[in-house]
Amino acid sequence: MLDCMIDRSVRVLLIDGQVEDSHWIEELLADIEQERFGGGWMHGIEMFHLQRLADALSLLEASSAGEQFDLVLLNPSLPDSSGLHTFLRVQAREPEIPVVILADQDDQNLALSMIRAGAQDFLAKTELEARSLARSLRLAIERGLILSNLRNLCWRDERTGIANRHGFTTLAEQGLALAGRFSKAAAVLVVELEGLDEIALSYGKEEEELALIEAGELVRGIVEPPDAAGRIGRNRFAVFMIPVGARDVPLLQSLLSMRLLRLTHSKVNRSSLKPRIEAAWRHPGENTNVADLVHSALQMLCENKRSQLKAGKANDFSTSLANSAGRHL
């Protein structure tokens, strides 16, 4: 986690139709502000409360030219809006402000849909206390800073435009933490492009770079928050995902393979390009980090290549024997 320090008060916009609950949230924020749970990473908290989505959207639109909020606490059930639609409208109005969902009840289906749509966290009021709220506030603000840095090219691969290895690992670790909170499985897919050397030798470094740029675009276009994609090596990319079902990972592998076949459709001959994809899982309850998952997927790639190489040599030997036998008949 980043050592995030806020040199002014953290400005929180609470959008919640229940006035009594807003007073309770304000008390929890006061506890955090007094550093009982804040850990000294900020100088205070300013909370602004609105009950209706329409009023909040108007305020966010007006604040874009002046005072900015650091975070939005959003109850998806409001007098004038409800469900995922509530979050999507807030996100559309101010996509760079991190949003933490503060729901009346614990609903895992709603939680996953919100997080997949881009919310930083999901908290149920039935289980809320100052410590969990403080943790969520810090996580959301730090993740927002990570995304902001990526937009500013701090952790972006200069050649392909997607996250570099460090940026990918940081974002994927945040996603892994979310998966752990909801007792969900997570997976990392590693994509390796074979044949880049042949393209560079035959057509030059510019064609090699163009193939990498196109591959980065194809890999990036397949993920949605909280999933992440990045370039982790010269000819390797990685995708982190929180699958809904067991078939999601093999389906994504197939989809990635089909997309990457587009790389061979070029003015130059790219028939040497062969994408290889392997996935590593972290099941609920396991203590595995992103680096371990990437390493496991790379090991499987290497083992599969060795197996294919052995099979190829065996086929060549069989063919040689058959040809030799044919000559002696």
Residues in the chain, total: 329
* Lowest mean pLDDT segment, chosen from 150-154, 181-185, 289-293: 150-154
Homologous superfamily of the 10-151 domain (CATH): Response regulator (3.40.50.2300)
Question: CATH 3.30.70.270 residue ranges in the chain?
Answer: 165-304
Residues 7 and 30: their CA atoms lie apart, in Å, by 18
Tell me what the mean pLDDT of segment 25-52 comes to: 78
pLDDT band at 33 (very low <50, low <70, confident <90, very high): confident
Question: 186: helix, coil or strand?
Answer: strand
State the pLDDT at residue 272.
Answer: 85
Report the top-level CATH class of 165-304: alpha beta
Q: Which one has a higher pLDDT value, 150 or 88?
A: 88
Give the DSSP H/E element, type plus range, for residue 238.
Answer: strand 236-241
Please state, as a whole number, how many other Cβ atoms lie within 10 Å of the Cβ of residue 102.
23
Rounded CA Rg of the chain: 25
Q: Please give the pLDDT value at position 240.
A: 95
Domain with CATH 3.40.50.2300 in the chain: 10-151
pLDDT above 80: residue 259: yes
> Do residues 236 and 212 touch, judged by C-beta distance below 8 A?
no
321/329 Cα distance (integer angstroms): 13
State the DSSP code for 222.
T
| Two structure tokens written together for 328 | 């002696």
Q: Which amino acid is at 220?
A: R
